[in-house]
């Protein structure tokens, strides 16, 4: 790797001098996240790893340099940080025994997904995998660098939105590409302005395909859900996902592009769907396009548009029921050729007679209506005059009290009629939902305050809302506080397995589970220093009472040598 000392690890441009890079400002002493590969690492004796670009619950993507082809690339590393950890000071990944099965299962899915993508190199609107290889107890995939910017950045540079004519010219190729990807059995689940790119040549590309678990809530992996673009079924692992899941993402992207507004997060729409139709936000959006987008954003997967092909057909069809736009001449009702025809001998008078007859028939109800209105107005004026003339004198005490109480009542009624449009909301149903998702959702910020309390509950998982003080569908005013009870999980839980874990790893598991513990150190020639030997507690079974604060005793080996970096016995063999 001769290039290593000649390249900036921030942008991988030539750098033959000391100090920050003149192109990107990166310095060699810039700190990096210890869980991920250090800049300057070498993979497969060919790839020089640069800075970390992005990461999620499935993988991490780095800028890299291919020393053989002498060009920049992207390298994606399978790195589910909830299941594994980086060995300190090394590129190796360690996996403890209890996570080994899911780690291998998801890695197999990761590998198969990218193998399928590598076979789609003829599709110019995706970024296919180039090479897969195994190293450091994990799998790596290489990709071409997309020369361009994300759709999110593009919108920021173009006043935040695009017209329907611009969308019509940009998006059809990517619609076709997504449909072909679906035919191969691949669902993206992360279509958003962050994963769609606009190349320097003005074409769209879609990137960042991931395995199912990383874009679904309540799985072993930390979910990457793009708020506003993720479909409702992605918030619960028990719901069916399919091509309709990507239809939701596409329609959410179209909504964002055409209106300039991000759609309301799907989980927030459940029970209180207040998503406005696109044409009500931007009058320039064609009515049929607006309705199709809303159909693609239907919360029920069964009722939603099912395929991209169906979506495209509906988007680009020309409905006959639409009224002409303002400023245009309507020629739908009267065909042009009928206007230019010479009337028959009896045809023209007959039409005129018919029109006169119709006009005559219409005069009677109009006259009746006018007379009726006139009479009502006269009666109203007479009544008002009578009320004014019969108003009692100031010495009559009862009537002034009546008059004073009537006027405020009328004023208050007028105010209450207008307030629901500004300050009144309908209370959603939060029971059964994840509190963290609800609390962080932008939908409720500014008008609703949560007052949480926590209890142990054997029937609900941790962080699930089990009760709310204000019933759903109750009309409330902005600024209202709702008290909610949140589950801390079961009161007794199974003691986590400690086999093959260091003290640090095991403590992290106990802290996450909410288990109190006491560390006891002792020498043991059968273990390396720093590893957990055994656990003890006062109960008879393998469960510990977390509600009553039962303490778990954790015995850690201390032989006077704290080196714990040798984890090869718990790695993965390829």
Give me the mean pLDDT over the 416-444 stretch: 69
pLDDT, one tens digit per residue, over 124-168 is: 899 999 999 999 999 999 999 999 999 999 999 888 889 999 999
Radius of gyration of the chain (CA): 34
Quick check: 59 pLDDT over 50? yes
- Identify which of 231, 228, 252 has the alpha carbon closest to the alpha carbon of residue 299: 231
pLDDT, one tens digit per residue, over 248-302 is: 999 999 999 999 999 999 988 988 888 999 999 999 999 999 999 999 999 999 9
* Cα 359 from Cα 482, distance rounded (Å): 61
Quick check: 411 pLDDT over 70? no
- Identify which of 138, 130, 131, 252 has the alpha carbon closest to the alpha carbon of residue 191: 252
- Identify which of 225, 228, 221, 97 has the alpha carbon closest to the alpha carbon of residue 502: 97
Lowest mean pLDDT among 17-26, 45-54, 224-233, 284-293: 17-26
Question: How is domain 147-319 classified at the CATH fold level?
Answer: Transferase(Phosphotransferase); domain 1 (1.10.510)
Is 492-570 the same fold as 1-145? no
Max mean pLDDT range (185-194, 462-471, 487-496): 185-194
According to the model, what pLDDT value does residue 367 have? 53
Quick check: 386 pLDDT over 70? no
According to the model, what pLDDT value does residue 371 have? 52
Q: What single-letter DSSP state applies at residue 10? A: T
Contact 159, 110 (CB under 8 A): no
According to the model, what pLDDT value does residue 89 have? 87
pLDDT, one tens digit per residue, over 356-378 is: 444 444 455 445 444 554 555 55
According to the model, what pLDDT value does residue 421 have? 42
Residue 340 to residues 334, 335, 349, 350, Cα–Cα distance (Å): 11, 9, 17, 18
According to the model, what pLDDT value does residue 193 have? 96
According to the model, what pLDDT value does residue 115 have? 95
* Cα 420 from Cα 426, distance rounded (Å): 10
According to the model, what pLDDT value does residue 374 have? 55
Lowest mean pLDDT among 112-116, 237-241, 283-287, 481-485: 237-241
Which residues, listed in sequence order, are joined to residue 71 by a DSSP beta bridge?
A: 66
According to the model, what pLDDT value does residue 29 have? 84
Which of the four CATH numbers 3.40.190.10, 3.30.10.20, 1.10.8.60, 1.10.8.290 does domain 492-570 have?
Answer: 3.30.10.20
Quick check: 74 pLDDT over 90? yes
Give me the mean pLDDT over the 447-458 stretch: 88
Assign 538 a pLDDT band (cuts: 50, 70, 90): confident
Written as six digits, the tokens of 79 are 């790195």
According to the model, what pLDDT value does residue 423 have? 57
According to the model, what pLDDT value does residue 462 have? 83
Which residues, listed in sequence order, are joined to residue 534 by a DSSP beta bridge?
A: 555
Contact 83, 551 (CB under 8 A): no
Percentage above 90 pLDDT, the chain:
51
pLDDT, one tens digit per residue, over 509-528 is: 888 888 999 999 999 877 88
Does 217 or 461 have the greater pLDDT score?
217
Residue 382 to residues 34, 71, 81, 376, 393, Cα–Cα distance (Å): 87, 92, 82, 10, 21
* Cα 401 from Cα 399, distance rounded (Å): 5
According to the model, what pLDDT value does residue 344 have? 39
According to the model, what pLDDT value does residue 319 have? 54
According to the model, what pLDDT value does residue 357 have? 44
The CATH code of domain 424-487 reads: 3.30.10.20
According to the model, what pLDDT value does residue 376 have? 53
Lowest mean pLDDT among 189-203, 321-335, 387-401, 495-509: 321-335
Written as six digits, the tokens of 536 are 């003890």
Q: What is the pTM of this model?
A: 0.58
547 CA to centre of own chain? 34
Quick check: 332 pLDDT over 90? no
Contact 407, 413 (CB under 8 A): no
Quick check: 493 pLDDT over 80? yes
Every domain of the chain and the residues it spans:
1-145, 147-319, 424-487, 492-570
Question: How is domain 1-145 classified at the CATH fold level?
Answer: Phosphorylase Kinase; domain 1 (3.30.200)
According to the model, what pLDDT value does residue 317 have? 77
According to the model, what pLDDT value does residue 561 have? 53
Quick check: 36 pLDDT over 60? yes
According to the model, what pLDDT value does residue 399 have? 34
């Amino acid at each position: 790797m001769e290039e290593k000392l000649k390249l900036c690890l921030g942008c991988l441009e030539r750098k033959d001098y000391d100090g920050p890079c003149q192109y990107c400002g990166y310095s060699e002493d810039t700190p990096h996240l210890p869980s991920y590969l250090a800049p300057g690492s070498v993979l497969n004796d060919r790839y020089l790893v640069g800075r970390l670009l992005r990461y999620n619950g499935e993988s991490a993507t780095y800028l890299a340099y291919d020393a053989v082809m002498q060009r920049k690339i992207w390298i994606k590393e399978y790195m589910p940080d909830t299941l594994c950890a980086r060995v300190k000071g090394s590129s190796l990944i360690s996996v403890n025994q209890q996570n080994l099965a899911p780690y291998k299962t998801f890695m197999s899915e990761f590998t198969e997904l990218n193998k399928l993508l590598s076979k789609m190199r003829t599709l110019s609107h995706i970024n296919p995998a180039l090479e897969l290889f195994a190293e450091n107890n994990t799998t790596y995939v290489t990709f071409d660098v997309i020369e361009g910017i994300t759709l999110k950045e593009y919108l920021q540079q173009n006043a935040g939105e695009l017209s329907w004519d611009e969308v019509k010219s940009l998006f059809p190729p990517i619609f076709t590409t997504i449909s072909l990807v679906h035919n191969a059995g691949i669902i993206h689940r992360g279509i958003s302005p962050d994963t769609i790119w606009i190349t320097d040549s003005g074409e769209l590309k879609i990137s960042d395909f991931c395995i199912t678990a990383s874009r679904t809530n309540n799985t072993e992996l930390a979910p990457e859900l793009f708020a506003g673009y993720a479909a409702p079924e992605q918030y619960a692992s028990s719901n069916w996902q399919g091509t309709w899941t990507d239809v939701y993402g596409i329609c959410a992207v179209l909504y964002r592009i055409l209106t300039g507004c991000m759609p309301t997060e799907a989980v927030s729409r459940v029970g209180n769907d207040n998503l406005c139709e696109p044409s009500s936000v931007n009058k320039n959006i064609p009515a049929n396009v607006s309705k199709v987008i809303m159909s693609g954003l239907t919360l029920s997967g069964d009722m939603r548009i099912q395929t991209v092909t169906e979506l495209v057909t509906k988007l680009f069809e020309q409905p006959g029921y639409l009224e002409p736009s303002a400023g245009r001449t309507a020629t739908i009702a009267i065909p042009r050729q009928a206007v230019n025809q010479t009337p028959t001998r009896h045809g023209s008078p007959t039409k005129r007679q018919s029109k006169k007859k119709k006009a005559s028939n219409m005069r009677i109800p109009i006259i009746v209506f006018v007379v009726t209105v006139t009479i009502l107005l006269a009666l109203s004026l007479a009544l008002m005059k009578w009320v004014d003339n019969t108003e009692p004198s100031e010495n009559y005490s009862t009537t002034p009290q009546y008059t004073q109480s009537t006027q405020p009542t009328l004023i208050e009624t007028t105010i209450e009629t207008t307030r629901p449009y500004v300050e009144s909301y309908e209370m959603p149903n939060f029971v059964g939902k994840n509190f963290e998702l609800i609390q962080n959702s932008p939908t409720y910020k500014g008008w609703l305050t949560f007052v949480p309390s926590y209890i142990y509950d054997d029937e609900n998982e941790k962080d699930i809302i089990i009760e709310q003080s204000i019933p759903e569908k109750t009309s409330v005013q902005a600024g209202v506080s709702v008290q909610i009870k949140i589950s801390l999980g079961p009161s007794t839980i199974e003691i986590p397995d400690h086999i093959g874990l260091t003290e640090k790893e095991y403590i992290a598991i106990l802290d996450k589970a909410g288990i109190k513990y006491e560390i006891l150190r002792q020498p043991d020639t059968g273990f390396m220093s720093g590893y957990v030997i055994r656990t003890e507690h006062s109960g008879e079974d393998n469960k510990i009472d977390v509600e009553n604060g039962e303490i778990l005793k954790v015995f850690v080996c201390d032989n006077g040598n704290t080196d714990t970096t040798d984890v090869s016995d718990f790695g993965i063999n390829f």
